[in-house]
Amino acid sequence: MRTDLTIAEAVAALTAVLPEPRLEHVPLLAAHNRILAEDMQSLVDHPNTNDSALDGFAVQLEVTKTASPETPVRLKVVGEVAAGALAFSRPLEAHEAVKVFTGGAVPLGATGIAMVEHTARDGDDVLLLQPAVPEIRLKGQDLEIGQTYLAKGTRLNGSSIALAAAMGHAVLPVFEKPRIALLSTGDEIVEPGSPLPEGGVYNANSYGLAAKLLELGAEPMLLPKVADSLDGIRAAILAARGAHLVLTIGGVSMGERDFVRKLLESEGTIDFWRIKVKPGGPPILGSLDGIPVFGLPGNPVSSLVVFHVVVQIALAQRWGDVTPSFETVRAKAITPFKSAGAKQGLWRANLEWSTDHYTVAAFSNQSSQVLRSLTQSNALAVVPENETRGVGDWLEVIKL
């Protein structure tokens, strides 16, 4: 069993035990927040003909150069084309104009559009009061048949789904959603909405982590909480067979009642125990009867921080997500940041932009039980092991 891993080593270990996701084909809307499993090529040219970017009249630019309210240019209107209609049947001559609507095909020979607000009708003619503009969108200007515009690993959002639809795809190849079971352990855990006995604590971790998983496009499986017992924890983990990963919460440290660790030691396997990070030092990675288990610490800040810097990164890597899971920036400290000893400190902090650089200030209470610190902070300030940062020092900061 390995101990005291770095964050990068923990991510690599967890990624390695996650199973390969299967490919699925789903309709466009069902693909939202899923990871694209293949490169996607356009099935069409867009636009599929030269068309107008404006409402107006398709003309030859050269003959409109002298147009003004005082000296309008008179052209004969020989046709009209709406968006989606067939183009005018013959090339346009210099003394002619074709009325077009936005998206309407322009005739051969047209090189510009006279904007409708700069024209006046006179029977079968149109008077141009200003020169035309070259607002013609060329065939294939946006998309070309056979070209790749969405890459494998793209997390699909509204814009990319719109692009897929524009390319002609009604169904998209995506990876199946990560199915992550959440198991909160501990005699003291009480469901929100129930009376809270003395010494009890509401089950905030399961719901916070489930929400995080939903944000990642995963499918959280919220298991009933179990008391501190080997039998209860064993039964709950085995019942979650079929999940890609079981995330347990609590019971991973060195105490007599840390039953998750005891169960994996006695009946399963352990890959590693403890990460060199604070808060969140005692996570454990192992398996029970072939089911991958990642044990998070019970303190709410610790569990959410470890999820942020380890679990979501491993899920992104295994699912091939090319979108960065979080952004890091450099910032100048405006408060001191203490050392976490032989661990890397991830201190809750507030990040602000100041003229030409970021500044960062430590949150006042760094206890791993102060859950409100994660809603009243917007960043994690990274302090290397056995180091401190003083006012005016630069440090790496993870945006939350």
* 248 lies in some domain: yes
Pair (154, 288) in one structural domain: no
- What CATH number is attached to the domain comprising 75? 2.170.190.11
Pair (313, 233) in one structural domain: yes
End position of a domain, from candidates 121, 152, 175: 175
Copy the structure tokens of residue 223: 């298991």
Q: Which pLDDT score, from 0 to 100, does residue 76 have?
A: 98
293 pLDDT higher than 90: yes
How does pLDDT run across 361-370, given as a tens digit for each residue? 999 999 988 9
- What CATH number is attached to the domain comprising 292? 3.40.980.10
How does pLDDT run across 54-106, given as a tens digit for each residue? 999 999 999 999 999 999 999 999 999 999 999 899 999 999 999 999 999 99
Q: CA 336, CA 325: separation in Å to the nearest integer?
A: 27
Which residues, other chains included, contact 97 with Cβ-Cβ below 8 Å and sequence gap of 6+?
Answer: 57, 58, 59, 75, 76, 77, 78, 114, 126
* 255 lies in some domain: yes
Q: Contact at 8 Å (CB) between 358 and 329?
A: yes
Pair (17, 156) in one structural domain: no
Q: CA 348, CA 276: separation in Å to the nearest integer?
A: 17
Pair (201, 226) in one structural domain: yes
Q: Which pLDDT score, from 0 to 100, does residue 175 have?
A: 98
Q: Which domain holds residue 380?
A: 328-399
How does pLDDT run across 314-330, given as a tens digit for each residue? 999 999 998 888 899 99
- What CATH number is attached to the domain comprising 352? 2.40.340.10
Pair (218, 108) in one structural domain: no
* 360 lies in some domain: yes
Selection from 361, 345, 246, 257 nearest residue 301 by Cα: 345
Q: Which pLDDT score, from 0 to 100, does residue 281 have?
A: 84
Domains: count for the chain: 4
Q: CA 219, CA 183: separation in Å to the nearest integer?
A: 14
Which residues, other chains included, contact 34 with Cβ-Cβ below 8 Å and sequence gap of 6+?
Answer: 26, 155, 156, 172, 174, 175, 177, 217
Pair (262, 195) in one structural domain: yes
Pair (208, 121) in one structural domain: no
* 323 lies in some domain: no
Indicate the angle between helix axes 259-267 and 230-239, nearest 10 degrees. 70
Pair (195, 313) in one structural domain: yes
Which residues, other chains included, contact 308 with Cβ-Cβ below 8 Å and sequence gap of 6+?
Answer: 212, 326, 380, 398, 400
Pair (385, 335) in one structural domain: yes
Q: Is 6 exposed, middle or buried (0-12, 13-18, 19+ CB in 10 A)?
A: middle
End position of a domain, from candidates 137, 157, 189: 137
End position of a domain, from candidates 87, 110, 137: 137
Pair (234, 280) in one structural domain: yes
Q: CA 159, CA 354: separation in Å to the nearest integer?
A: 31
Q: Which pLDDT score, from 0 to 100, does residue 332 have?
A: 97
Q: Which pLDDT score, from 0 to 100, does residue 258 have?
A: 86
Percentage of the chain lying above the pLDDT 90 cut: 91
Q: Which pLDDT score, from 0 to 100, does residue 255 have?
A: 73
Pair (267, 180) in one structural domain: yes
Buried b (16+ CB within 10 A) or exposed e, 39-75: ebbbeebbbeebbbbbebbbbbbebbeebeeeebbeb
Pair (254, 297) in one structural domain: yes
The whole-model pTM stands at 0.87
How does pLDDT run across 128-170, given as a tens digit for each residue? 999 999 999 999 999 999 999 999 999 999 999 999 999 999 9
- What CATH number is attached to the domain comprising 170? 3.90.105.10
Confidence of residue 254 (pLDDT cuts 50, 70, 90): confident
